[in-house]
Amino acid sequence: DMNTQHTIKTIAIVILSVIIFASCEKETIIDSNSLPKTAQEFITTHFAGQSIVSVVSDKELLESSFEVSLSEGYNLNFNRKGECTKIDGNEKRVPDSAVSQKITEYVEKNYSPSFITNWEKETVGQSVELSNDIELRFNDKGEFTRIDN
């Protein structure tokens, strides 16, 4: 029957396009000197004394990014311009200097002795995860907007 054939064709096209799209994503390990200068400066400024363990260049269809692992267990993500988009402290404290001062002051005032273990630039605003597992949202200016559960 025609409907069944049409459904099978549609499914085949969807599967094929997923496979094609997935193959466009390329992860390659690159030399840390190939990181954008901005990213290199960010690391030496906020993570002084830590060495870069690995840099993975993640090329997707429209956006390329870099995933950087540091010697003390921090994982950082940078966009192609070298701007930091994510800091994962893996339960360790994210350096205050790496996050907007408004955010660190808000966390200190309202959640001390908890500290930021994860910071991420979202499509709109930014989010932090605290050592007590609370997730907070802030706007682009660093002003608190809500608790994310």
Residue with tokens 């193959």: 23
Task: Give per-residue pLDDT as tens, 23-47.
Answer: 556 778 888 898 999 999 999 999 9
Task: Give per-residue pLDDT as tens, 100-124.
Answer: 999 999 999 999 999 999 999 999 9
Mean per-residue pLDDT of the chain: 89
Predicted confidence at residue 91, as pLDDT, reads 96
Check if the beta carbon of residue 126 is closer than 8 Å to that of residue 138.
yes
Predicted confidence at residue 20, as pLDDT, reads 52
Predicted confidence at residue 14, as pLDDT, reads 63
Structure tokens belonging to residue 75: 């994982």
Residue with tokens 């030496």: 44
Check if the beta carbon of residue 53 is closer than 8 Å to that of residue 69.
yes
